[in-house]
Structure 1
Amino acid sequence: MIRMLQFRPQSARWKPVLAAGIAAVTVATGLVAGASAYAAAGCRVNYAVQAQWPGGFTGNVEITNLGDPISGWSLVWTFGSGQRIGQMWNASYTQPAAVVTATNMSYNAAIPANGKVSFGFNGSWSGSNAVPASFTLNGVTCTGSPATPSPTQSATPSPSTSPSQSPSPQPNDPMQIVVAMQPGTNIGNTLDAIPDETSWGNPPINQALLDHLRAQGFKSVRLPITWSNHHGPGPGYAIDAAWLSRIRQVVDWALADGFYVMINLHHDSWQWINTYPTDRASVLARYNALWTQIATAFRGHSPKLLFESINEPQFTGTSGDEQNYQLLNELNAEFVRIVRGTGGGNASRLLVLPTLFTNADQGRLDALRTAFAQLNDRNLAATIHFYGFWPFSVNNSGFTRYNAEVEQDLVGTFERAANTLVANGIPVILGEYLLLSLDYTRPGIIEQGEVLKFFEAFGYQARTKRITTMLWEAGTVLNRQELRWREPELMAQVTSSWTTRSGTASADQIYVPRTGAIAARALTLNLNGTTFQGLRQGSTDLVSGRDYTVSGNTLTLTAAAMTRLAGNRAAGVNTNIQARFSQGVPWRISIISYDPPVLSNATGTTSGFTLPAQFRGDQLATMEAKYADGSVAGPYNWTSFKEFWTHFQPDYNAGTIIMKPEFFNEVNDGARVTLTFHFWSGTQITYFVTKSGSSVTGTTS
């Protein structure tokens, strides 16, 4: 695998400097670039050092064809100071010694008369970084004077190439590019962390992480980047050279691994861009300065690098959505203007524009579609985010299951995006997706089987609506230190959904009493276009007719099979069986023995009240809170069901249920509150709490 020269930004704060002998120009990025024009019969070459640090540099080469159109090119030069190229983009290269030969890619082979093409590279140097003395294009020395190419020129004119062809590399059809990016993932809470890459608990991004993601089947990575802590003051807002080099390093690693890569302005959205309505001049100046520098630094990079204007745009102090749409359209239009103006590969780079809040409500989508029509730029894509139906994704308001309402919210999101954008030729990247409370540090908020049903349907909708999706991975889904999925069962469902549907069932757990007779139990199969193949325990197939029956979509396990599977009926999971289907991943069904939970009296305070709980094999699903007159108690006055973990939390190891300060903060002083705890077995237990100042008393009666 080809690797770029490895920079080490932690060891020094590098500043771009000029190589000796290069004619310097200062660009709006705050970086200093070197450029020299070398004349030849029929061609001109501009060679620029965009950034340089001890031992390394980034170069950009622009070829202008002053002769007849050519359909393939090879540029040759000699490094006179021992420089070595480590990686090149928008061209392939060989360098057996001092001589470098750069050859076109398939997408930039044609250069029309007076057309241009550019490519970039990372290289190493020592002692000096002298400018190459001359360049030859297809065997002809470039002098900057138009003339008839010599007979020895290796490439012949292509009569089929139109002189009106754009001089910059053209990506493939934007819709095809976005489709090719599926599936994608974020590397979140890292380069976007505040103030530094490791501030939010994740290790620095390295090549091993990218290799692992590629091996898992991901084809694109989104690199959220927060810039606000890594640039100087106005008016220049110069980006810190070491930070920009670190970003370039990660981008180049990802490109070398074959990924499509998307970078953006991330938490800048709420740190300073949101003040745009009231601080228009300074926000626009900062926004322009940052994107000018970023775009210039990467203008020679592969077309597989995408720029996203801003993450989850939001504005404070506006009159409402119409003004919000206008402001966002202004910023997006400015973004497109800035990037296109930096030239090189940016003239045709695929740029990604978000809806307001990156939300998929119809008004947001309509406003973005209108903006696309006004911009009239074919190389644009849209982006939205999706974290599921909110009450389900955080487990409040009683939405413990992936029910019809949750599904309709998911289906409606994809349908609106597909009908409004994709059907009108605008590709859509769903730049972040997950469930809000899916976090290994807060287990059990959403029941596992309900999570799996959500992701099975999510993948199907994305695939059928041709929308590319990028998992929000912020260290919560992948253990980055060990490079292993925290929930292999979940990721098996996610990855399977990229290509096929899987069968599921109405539940993934069957609770049976610890004592007494066990009855037959039934589940509803959700076939999702598959056919049911049977049940299996470990490597042993259960027997149809004896152990289970299927009638339509109803799967029934016989009383005899249930009794056998429950074994000694110890509290908790006794065994797991798998429902197997004609395609996709199997559906796990856990057989669980339980006794009804037992709660006990307790006293405490509003900042630390825990009630003793013997769970006895059962698991908590949700909790209701009401006053004696039946009205809603606690937060969320529209529902008696409170939010799992935010307002209450089970601790199965300690044998307690923790009632959070956030709950008591909105409970009437002196009032008795009836709590109803709902368990996954179907058991409901009532408990009473009374708040008196900061004191809380809890009783079972």
Structure 2
Amino acid sequence: MRHPPRSVLLAVAGAAALIGSVTVPVVTASGAAPACSVEYSVTSQWDSGFQGAVKVTNNTAAMSSWSLAFDFAGGQKLTQGWNATWSQSGTTVTAASESYNGSLATGASVSAGFIASWSGSNAVPNSFKLNGTSCNTAVEPSPTPEPTDPAEDGPPVLRASGNKLVDAGGVTRRLLGVNRSGGEFMCVQGRGIFDGPVDDASVKAIADWKANTVRIPLNEECWLGLSNIDPAYAGANYINAVKDLVAKVKAHGMTPVVELHWTHGQYTGNSAGCSDVHASCQKPMPDMQYTPSFWASVANTFKNDRTVVFDLFNEPYPDRATSTTTQAWQCWRDGGSCPGIGYEVAGMQDLVDSVRGTGAANLILAGGIAYSNDLSQWLTYRPADPAGNLAAAWHVYNFNTCANESCWNSTLAPVAAQVPLVAGEIGENTCAHGFIDQVMKWFDDRGLSYLGWTWNTWDCSSGPSLISSYDGTPTAFGTGLRDRLRALNG
């Protein structure tokens, strides 16, 4: 949504808490250092699969290439891997070095990861060989169970299961709540980090509406601490403020959705929001220069907290720059040199890879083209996520093209039949709630998720505002969402 003026690497899997690294020192019987050592870890595990990792340390002469072999002990089947060429023959799994990581000096280490299926038991391997030489091994414990009672443990860890969002116990969940705008624009404008208070009382006011989700828009230049941002509102100061808001949202039992809203890259074409190269407006697509680094940093920040949901990019509109819809969707997924966009684009696949490359297994949302209002080819071009933990995001306002039930039935329903669908922004610029009432009913009838734009006290004429005061006093527009949330979750 627009705002008032001035005002690397595939992988990871389903649902399980990530665990930290545990290193167990090992020595041979004689006390000499082993020729090599291996740390094997199960970093996440779900009903029929798991993500694993190995860290290999070479304690002998330097080598120009390496090959690690081990045997699965519980009938596990390798499905894919990264940072090595992975293969399986019978029970034996082999990870061979890639061209970029074959050199392994004495004392040096290399890590690689994989995804595999399992049933019955997920027994860990008990022997490893590096280039044919046996290694001593440290083995990490399996992941601890995920929280199942949100009343006691805060918001649930969510995962995509078919076309539903479910918690650790397999119970279907919906994301129903609000957006909390400010973090995307205040910092780049040199005015602070958030627009209005984000203290405990203001967050509690959201919870009092019976919202269970808060979407938090972010700015990549502020998060990364680039030189054009006032240091008071950048880097560690910005990140800590976001982490603090996330913690407050969780403390009130609500799911935090962190979302990339404004990005770097100069675009002056059709429907440009600004001519600035900096992240001072909505760009048609994220940029390759900074956005993958942004998501790698965000994912590393929150990867050990899978209650946090990642929304990759607010409102892509490559369709306004390209000459064909096919080009727009290709740009959306694959990025690169997109027609009509002067900077190198990071596609949705690049961003999924950036998140998963950190080991983060959090639920990911990906919005379509036309400011996330068009999902007509989302299923055809959806990015690959081996975790299967990906949902479609959609935005709708009364002035959008796809703003009627006929369009929703023809373009949204097929998507919602296959993957979870989240309306990350719903709103209307009439200061009433007649339109969003229609949207909410359509989504309620199908058990889908939606979030109102926005929990800010703006004049409705400059953007849909749910409240007139941060104590939760609703506008006429906000009354419709508040009453619906209370009816559903009260």
Q: Note whether the superposition's TM-score is higher than 0.5.
A: yes
- Pairing 1:338–2:354 present: yes
- Contact kept, 8 Å, 1:181 with 1:220, in 2: the verdict is no
CA distance 1:499–1:293, change in 2 (3 Å): closer
More relative contact order, 1 or 2 (CA 8 Å, 6+ apart): 2
- Contact kept, 8 Å, 2:160 with 2:390, in 1: the verdict is no
CA distance 1:214–1:272, change in 2 (3 Å): farther
Distance 2:158 2:473 in 1: 37
What does residue 367 of structure 1 align with?
Answer: 377
CA distance 1:202–1:230, change in 2 (3 Å): same
- Contact kept, 8 Å, 1:269 with 1:310, in 2: the verdict is no
Q: Secondary structure at the match of 2:219?
A: coil
CA distance 1:413–1:436, change in 2 (3 Å): farther
- Pairing 1:422–2:416 present: yes
- Pairing 1:323–2:327 present: yes
What does residue 475 of structure 1 align with?
Answer: 457
Identity percentage over the alignment? 16
Distance 2:209 2:185 in 1: 23
TM-superposed deviation, 1:205 = 1.7
TM-superposed deviation, 1:357 = 2.9
Structure 1: 4+ residue segments shifted above 6 A: 43-46, 66-69, 269-275
TM-superposed deviation, 1:283 = 3.1
- Pairing 1:308–2:311 present: yes
CA distance 1:204–1:271, change in 2 (3 Å): farther
CA distance 1:224–1:38, change in 2 (3 Å): same
What does residue 355 of structure 1 align with?
Answer: 368
What does residue 380 of structure 1 align with?
Answer: 390
Please give the per-residue CA displacement for 1:231-277, whole angstroms capped at 9, x wherever unaligned: 3559xxx97122112211211221232211111210227767988xx
Distance 1:170 1:329 in 2: 24
Q: Secondary structure at the match of 2:288?
A: helix
Distance 1:358 1:264 in 2: 14
Q: Secondary structure at the match of 1:265?
A: strand
Aligned equivalent of 2:406, options 395, 412, 416 = 412
- Which amino acid in 2 is paired with 1:257? H
TM-superposed deviation, 1:309 = 1.2
What does residue 634 of structure 1 align with?
Answer: none
- Contact kept, 8 Å, 2:40 with 2:139, in 1: the verdict is no
- Greater Rg over alpha carbons, structure: 1
What does residue 15 of structure 1 align with?
Answer: none
Please give the per-residue CA displacement for 1:182-235, whole angstroms capped at 9, x wherever unaligned: 32210013444342685598324222222111121001110011122443559x
- Which amino acid in 1 is paired with 2:358? T
How many residue pairs end up in the alignment?
323
- Contact kept, 8 Å, 1:417 with 1:428, in 2: the verdict is no
TM-superposed deviation, 1:313 = 1.3
- Contact kept, 8 Å, 1:193 with 1:226, in 2: the verdict is no
Q: Secondary structure at the match of 1:463?
A: helix
- Contact kept, 8 Å, 1:190 with 1:204, in 2: the verdict is no
What pairs up with 1:233-632 in 2 under 5 angstroms?
Answer: 240-268=235-263, 283-301=287-305, 303-315=306-318, 317-330=321-334, 331-343=347-359, 346=360, 348-360=361-373, 364-372=374-382, 377-389=387-399, 409-423=403-417, 425-438=418-431, 451-473=432-454, 474-476=456-458, 477-479=465-467, 482-487=470-475, 490-498=477-485
Structure that is richer in strand per residue: 1
- Which amino acid in 1 is paired with 2:208? A
Distance 1:185 1:381 in 2: 18
**Structure 1: gaps spanning 5 or more residues:** 1-33, 47-61, 70-109, 116-142, 150-154, 156-168, 392-407, 439-450, 502-701
TM-superposed deviation, 1:389 = 3.7
Distance 2:331 2:391 in 1: 19
What is the CA RMSD across the aligned residues, in angstroms? 4.5
**TM-score calculated relative to the size of structure 2:** 0.55
Q: Secondary structure at the match of 1:365?
A: coil
- Contact kept, 8 Å, 1:181 with 1:260, in 2: the verdict is no
What does residue 182 of structure 2 align with?
Answer: 189
Distance 1:255 1:203 in 2: 19
**TM-score calculated relative to the size of structure 1:** 0.40
